[in-house]
Structure 1
Amino acid sequence: MIALSLVDLAGVVSGRIDEREGVSKILAGPVVVDSRLASEGSIFIAMRGETTDGHEFAASAVAAGAAAVIAERDLDIGVPVIVVADSLVALSTLATEVVARVRALGRLRIVAVTGSNGKTTTKNMLRTILETKGPTVAPRGSFNNQVGAPLSMLGIDNDTEFLVVEMGASAAGDIARLVSIVVPDVAIVLKVGLAHAGGFGSIDDTAKAKAEIVTELPPDAVAVLNTDDTRVESMAALTKARVVRFGLSERADVAAADVETTVAGTGFTLVLGEERIPVRLRLLGEHNVMNALAAVAATRELGVEPHAAITALGSMSRAERWRMELLQSPDGITVLNDAYNASPDSMAAALKTLAEITRGAHRAIAVLGEMAELGSFSDEEHDRIGRLVVRLNIDKLVVVGHRARHIHNAAGLEGSWDGESVLVQTPDEAYDLLRDEMRAGDVVLVKSSNSAGLRLLGDRIAGVS
């Protein structure tokens, strides 16, 4: 974070300094809300959660080196405490001010990304490309909510040239609040799908929430839209910003052709008007072609030449831990560990990738768990995935957990299977079953929402500790 005096910090967040000693202290350390992440010189913001109260951990943060605390009540913990009415509001207000001060220096450019799927991968692609051009700050992991996104923004300093912000939403207004903190120079919308549909109620409501990222953009900003998704394409009419389109169709300004996915990676031809550029990604799946197109389109608007962007993308060995991560076991088994998150669209994309890279040359095994947060769509969407498994000719299906049972049931109804689909209740049961059945050359996809706990099963199958 940029350097602020304690008094300046208190003024920014409209807080009262509880301890006068050290008010002239200059603070420039990281801002944290988890006491376990506190370090020397950090600023700890005590926040009340649904099940925990950060005020109870303020002393632990100080013991780890925190130089100041922002809290909603007085605390006697040996460092200055800034008392505010609402810690979450204080976090947002601080992020707004820090971004504004760095922007005033004239160097900082901001790119934001949202979508039902692909946000984190695209964010990592943007960071990989932009780091080749100048100092870049982007969140680690999926810091994309009302707490995580402002924390990421606070990672900038006066030398930062590019800030990448991932904007997620679980309800209407979430993205609008993030945009109010930091108005992007370039905003990307990847896709509108059923991820978190339980919170929105319908896919149309999801589209309205995602559109919040472009509706308040100024005319000198750029909206980068997936023209292959009709709901995203319709957002062009909602923004005053200049629109750049990406996709597989001829309407796209930044397009892809000749897409090919193998176990070694994904290839395609980047089409920019009359120019055609061969691209080779080490990441698997056609969905990563769309993410790459979005990243190239956005960074092109930020001054990165497409050939340089492509070279940077070619260096990425994985999208993120547990996101379509390619692992090789000592026994010759290939594992696609994609069990950090799951939605109907990402589940279908992963299964299609599994089918594509095996193509009858290798046995395809799908280990699938629950897709969470689908609300009333849950049974129908799990059913649809089970039927898709059969239609893609996946050789073996292992479904883990009662909440994913409709995948197993639908697969059995769709095809005349005899033991190809098995329902087990725990990851341990799945591992015991697979240990006896897997053989060298098999390709195993492990896919579920994080809550299903299958990501460690993927590591275990691959022999990764």
Structure 2
Amino acid sequence: MIPMSLADIAAALEGKLNETADPEAIVTGGIEFDSRKVGPGGLFLALDGANVDGHDFAAQAVDQGAAAVIASREVPVPAVYVDDGLRAIGALARTVARRSEAAVVGVTGSNGKTSTKDLIGRLCAALGPTVATEANFNNELGHPYTVCRLRPETGYLVLELAARGLGHITELCEIAPPHIGVVLNVGISHLDGFGSIETTAEAKSELPRFLGPEGTAILNADDPRVARMAERTRATVVTFGVERPADVTAADLDPHDGRHRFTLRTPDGEAPVALRLWGGHHVPNALAAGAAAWRLGMGTERIAAVLSEAGRQSERRMDVYTLADGTTIIDDSYNANPASTGAAIRALGQVPTAGRRIAVIGLMADLEDQSEDCHRRAGEQAAAAGVDELIAVGGGTEPVVDGFAGDGREHRIGGADGAAATHVPDQSAAVDLLRTRLRPGDTVLVKGSRYRTWDVADYLRAKEDHRQ
């Protein structure tokens, strides 16, 4: 964190120092809400969770070197007392952001946020010291936590902006106002919070609408809902796309072995890119990241070189590895919605394999009354991609099997030998079925909303030999 005195921190949080806190003490480390991660000179944010009360670990944090604790009740160590710890870290992040000169890049969209954020982070790191959202720390806690990691020397701050309702992205932007805002796409996701794709588009548009005239809005020309956001921003608009004319685009697109190659074209020139990331959906992600880097002053050839070097950084996202017997595993189990599931299935269809293509598909959550249609569509996409066997896991995924069998393929439920599509009640049953069905040389995709296929992925991961 940018060094601040406890007195300054208390003022920023509208809090009060307790008697044991030294107002002149300087906080030089970061802020942590896990006491085990607190380091010398840092702050410990004591949150009252559903299962654990952070205040019980205040003394431990100070013993580990914390300069003070941010607390909402009395603790026997140096502390800043506040009414609400979650609001306090947001207020602290606002102060840290105001004291920083870092260029801030915000990324949002229904799909691809984390992968694109990772790519932008790699590109910015080639320009100078960079802080980027870890994993998907993109909510009301993870976002300010990331901002508080800024140091005086940080030149670039890359933030993933998520929302489950209107106003959420605006709230995140107010903490650390972006100079560049990237909108990837608008799709069917989190309908429990948004209610409709139109509301989702309105929520995503909060990022370009927040930008001022000195900012840059990077918009997907291939997504009509995103492209129309150009009319609602005061910022300079830079477009990216594959199918429609754009400022930053991909020519000579070659699917190769599932790790796509293309010629990157920007207003300043062109250069070849050979992605290490699996799946065609990473092409627009790479273009969006390249557009951000181009606006930050990076040359086209350097952008292409960094994109070609970038590997997967976040867990359970198109993590492709090979077992000792030649079986290939595609672990994309971190989360799922209709667009990301379709992209993963298409990637499975493109990966070279000596054996069969097997898709293990878990529930796509939060789809409300569109759930049945979306799951049936996933089965249809698997059939179209040439998937040889499909395993649908858990309640709500039965339509995946129906969609897969819609073209007249063999359709048996319950794991009968030779079945092309099988529905199983849970992950344990899916693992049992894979034990009997998986053969050397097969390629297996594991996809589902959070936790719903993780046990399957972990079973396969335990057999891991080496990554590709």
TM bucket (normalised to shorter chain) is: over 0.9
Q: Pick one of 162, 180, 188 that aligns with 1:186.
A: 180
Q: Which residue of 2 aligns with 1:97?
A: 95
Structure 2 stretches of 5 or more lacking a match? 412-418
Matched, 1:148 2:148: no
Please report how far the alpha carbon of residue 391 of structure 1 lies from its aligned counterpart in structure 2 after TM superposition: 2.4
Q: Which residue of 1 aligns with 2:462?
A: 460
Please report how far the alpha carbon of residue 269 of structure 1 lies from its aligned counterpart in structure 2 after TM superposition: 1.9
Which stretch shifts more, 396-405 or 451-460?
451-460
In the aligned structure 2, how far is the partner of 1:339 from the partner of 1:387? Answer: 20
The Cα offsets for residues 201-232 of structure 1, whole Å up to 9 and x where unpaired, read as 01111111111111121101000000101111
Q: Pick one of 225, 232, 255 that aligns with 2:249.
A: 255
Matched, 1:378 2:371: yes
The Cα offsets for residues 115-146 of structure 1, whole Å up to 9 and x where unpaired, read as 11111111110111111111011121101111
- In the TM superposition, what are the counterparts of 1:216-365 in structure 2 within 5 Å? 216-263=210-257, 265-272=259-266, 275-358=269-352, 362-365=355-358
In the aligned structure 1, how far is the partner of 2:110 from the partner of 2:320? Answer: 23
Please report how far the alpha carbon of residue 34 of structure 1 lies from its aligned counterpart in structure 2 after TM superposition: 2.4
In the aligned structure 2, how far is the partner of 1:265 from the partner of 1:82? Answer: 50
In the aligned structure 2, how far is the partner of 1:127 from the partner of 1:119? Answer: 12
Please report how far the alpha carbon of residue 102 of structure 1 lies from its aligned counterpart in structure 2 after TM superposition: 1.5
The Cα offsets for residues 79-118 of structure 1, whole Å up to 9 and x where unpaired, read as 2111112222211111111111113xxxx21111001111
Q: Is the 8 A contact 1:341 1:449 kept in 2?
A: yes
Please report how far the alpha carbon of residue 375 of structure 1 lies from its aligned counterpart in structure 2 after TM superposition: 2.5
In the aligned structure 1, how far is the partner of 2:62 from the partner of 2:399? Answer: 49
Q: Would the alpha carbon gap of residues 274 and 218 (structure 1) be closer, same or farther in structure 2, given more than 3 Å must change?
A: closer
Q: Is the 8 A contact 1:12 1:97 kept in 2?
A: yes
Q: Which residue of 2 aligns with 1:83?
A: 81
Q: How many residues get paired?
A: 458
Q: Which residue of 2 aligns with 1:58?
A: 58
Question: What amino acid is aligned across from residue 82 of structure 1 in structure 2?
Answer: V
The Cα offsets for residues 122-174 of structure 1, whole Å up to 9 and x where unpaired, read as 11101111111110111211011111011001111110101101101111111
* Identity rate, percent: 39
Q: Pick one of 386, 389, 397 that aligns with 2:382.
A: 389
In the aligned structure 2, how far is the partner of 1:436 from the partner of 1:11? Answer: 63
Matched, 1:132 2:135: no
SS at match of 1:456: helix
In the aligned structure 1, how far is the partner of 2:236 from the partner of 2:343? Answer: 30
Q: Which residue of 2 aligns with 1:33?
A: 33
Matched, 1:210 2:204: yes
In the aligned structure 1, how far is the partner of 2:99 from the partner of 2:265? Answer: 38
Structure 2 length as normaliser, TM-score? Answer: 0.93
Q: Pick one of 400, 404, 426 that aligns with 1:407.
A: 400
In the aligned structure 1, how far is the partner of 2:20 from the partner of 2:313? Answer: 47
Question: What amino acid is aligned across from residue 423 of structure 2 in structure 1?
Answer: L
Q: Which residue of 2 aligns with 1:435?
A: 435
Q: Is the 8 A contact 1:335 1:461 kept in 2?
A: no
Q: Would the alpha carbon gap of residues 57 and 379 (structure 1) be closer, same or farther in structure 2, given more than 3 Å must change?
A: farther
In the aligned structure 2, how far is the partner of 1:95 from the partner of 1:458? Answer: 40
